[in-house]
Structure 1
Amino acid sequence: MNPLASVLPAAVSTAVRCDDDGVGALHPNEEAAVAKAVASRRAEFTTARACAREALAALGAPAGAVPVGEKRSPVWPDGVVGSITHTPGFRGAAVAWASAVRSLGIDAEAHDVLPSGVLEAVSSEAERAVLAGLAADHPDVHWDRLLFSAKESVYKTWFPLTGRWLGFEEAALTPAADGTFTAELLVPGPVVDGVEVSSFAGRWTVAGGHVITAIALAAQPVSG
């Protein structure tokens, strides 16, 4: 089972790998990004790019190089949007045609408690109160890690639309036990298809020891 596919719409093509075995070589245009990297960083980068090419091929898009662009974000073929994530034991990519999906953000994290002090640094008091209520009813979910992951997905969705940084404190995250979450932007949002985006809606799941979050911002239907 591909857990990324379970949290994204059918218009999105995904690929996932759990190890770095047999993924082949990087494209020459990708080499510069990890030319001085340690072996573990190079391996995760290479596998994540292999996932990207697999997802692009499944979409019917050119499955060539996915170099690193501004602020370390992937550079996708013309007409394609996408997102990449990698953490120990999980590498994944998601892509879609920009005509159907305007921006994508995915993230995977170890399903475990956040290190001490991190939750306070990435969340508000109101967000922590919501997490406490969810934890009381659903103690099997590490809600702090889920919030962190969802905010990473928010940023990955935001950046291609704006080219600007978005701080953890600039989006109010509200997860729900039904596998969804919303993120209210606390700063002016991007204008997409003539409409200002004031919030993102996403989905989450826990699989194979990881919490996985995803956002797919759909294109607005053309009014006639």
Structure 2
Amino acid sequence: MIAEILPAGVVVAEYFGDPPDARLFPEEEAGVCGAVDERRREYTTVRHLARLAMQDLGLPAVAILSGTRREPLWPSGLVGSMTHCVGYRAAALSFADRHASIGIDAELHAPLTEGVLAKIASPGEISRLAEREAGRPEVHWDALLFSAKEAVYKAWFPLTRRRLGFHESELNFDPDCHAFTADVHRGEPVVAGYPRTRLTGRWHVHDGIVFTAVTIGQALLSTVVADRDV
């Protein structure tokens, strides 16, 4: 599903649910010590899927620990992202000499809880979403915005090591091309010596889930496709 909006060179492993053979490495156990069952299952599955993606890249499966911001700590030479929502898990990986960063997100395709949109969107974004809804009412644009901002954050954070608030990026969606742009207002990642003040992404909706992805290529022009679950 999410592979459809990712570029060549990015390997994806995904699963609708939790495979019975998914297991944590011993050193990963601390990441879910005391966690409820649902959290443990999603944490375990996305790491299991990331290891499958590593194997597809010809690499050995290793433990994936979490950083201070709960971000996955990838082996040297790899970049990646993981996501989970009810009924769906995925991991996307690539070699660091090909892509500088990846951010993926999946969310249930349903309206956000009342009051959430005002907390994550600017007045301009809310106005544009209303226009998109008038033309494409079958899309829950508020859920799409939330997911896309998560994908932006997950692509942005590994390159800057700084948090990015919901109001520190301004998104605009192209409903025809299933694409979006994100203008970041808090610094910018620098890749290959050039600042990336605008990220681009892609999205699609399938079977009750909205998928978003952002990839930043190592070349001057970033390649992006449009899911902060880590």
Alignment TM-score, normalising by the size of structure 2: 0.93
SS at match of 1:126: helix
Query: Are the equivalent residues in 2 in contact too, given 1:62–1:77 (CA < 8 A)?
Result: no
Q: Which residue of structure 2 aligns with residue 63 of structure 1?
A: 61
Give the counterpart letter for 2:215 in structure 1.
A
The residue aligned with 1:18 is 16
The runs of 5 or more residues in structure 1 that have no matched partner are none
Say whether the 8 Å CA contact 2:23–2:45 is kept in structure 1: no
**Residue pair 2:174, 2:180 contacting (<8 A) in 1 also:** yes
1:74 corresponding residue in structure 2: 72
State the partner residue of 1:52.
Answer: 50
| Contact persistence 1:112–1:145 (CA under 8 A) | yes
Alpha-carbon distance in structure 2 between the residues aligned to 1:16 and 1:155: 21
Percent identity among equivalent residues? Answer: 47
Return the match for 1:174 from 164, 172, 175: 172
Please identify, of 162-171 and 51-60, the stretch whose mean Cα deviation from structure 2 is larger: 51-60
Alignment match, 2:117: 119
* Aligned equivalents of 1:156, 1:174: Cα separation in 2: 18
What do residues 89-146 of structure 1 show as CA deviations (whole Å, max 9, x unaligned)? 1100000001000000000000000000000000011001111111111011000000
* Distance across 1 between alignment mates of 2:87 and 2:24: 20
Distance 1:199 1:70 in 2: 26
Aligned twin of 1:37: 35
How far apart, CA to CA, are the structure 2 residues paired with 1:33 and 1:90?
Answer: 20
Alignment check: 8 A CA contact 1:4 1:212 kept: yes
Q: Cα deviation per residue 1:161-208 (whole Å; 9 max; x = unaligned)?
A: 011000111100111112101100112212111001101111101112
**2:203·2:213 contact (CA, 8 Å) conserved in 1?**
yes
Moved more, 17-26 or 5-14: 17-26
- Root-mean-square deviation (CA, aligned residues, Å) is 1.2
For 2:216, the equivalent position in structure 1 comes to 217
**1:187-206 superposed matches below 5 A:** 187-206=186-205
Number of aligned residue pairs: give it.
220
Offset, 1:62: 2.8
Partner residue in 2 for 1:109? 107
Shift in Å, 1:73:
0.3
What whole-Å deviation, never above 9, does each CA across 1:43-72 have from its counterpart, x for those lacking one? 111111111111111122332111111200
Which runs of no fewer than 5 residues in structure 2 stay unpaired? 221-230
Q: Partners in 1 of 2:189 and 2:89 — Cα distance?
A: 29
1:22 partner SS: coil
Distance 2:174 2:46 in 1: 29
Moved over 2 A (4+): none
Aligned partners of 1:61 and 1:77 also within 8 Å = no
Letter in 1 for 2:121: S
Partner of 2:152: 154
In structure 2, the residue matched to 1:134 is 132
Task: Give the match for residue 208 of structure 1.
Answer: 207
State the alpha-carbon separation in 2 of the partners of residues 72 and 85 from structure 1. 12
TM-score normalised according to structure 1 size: 0.95
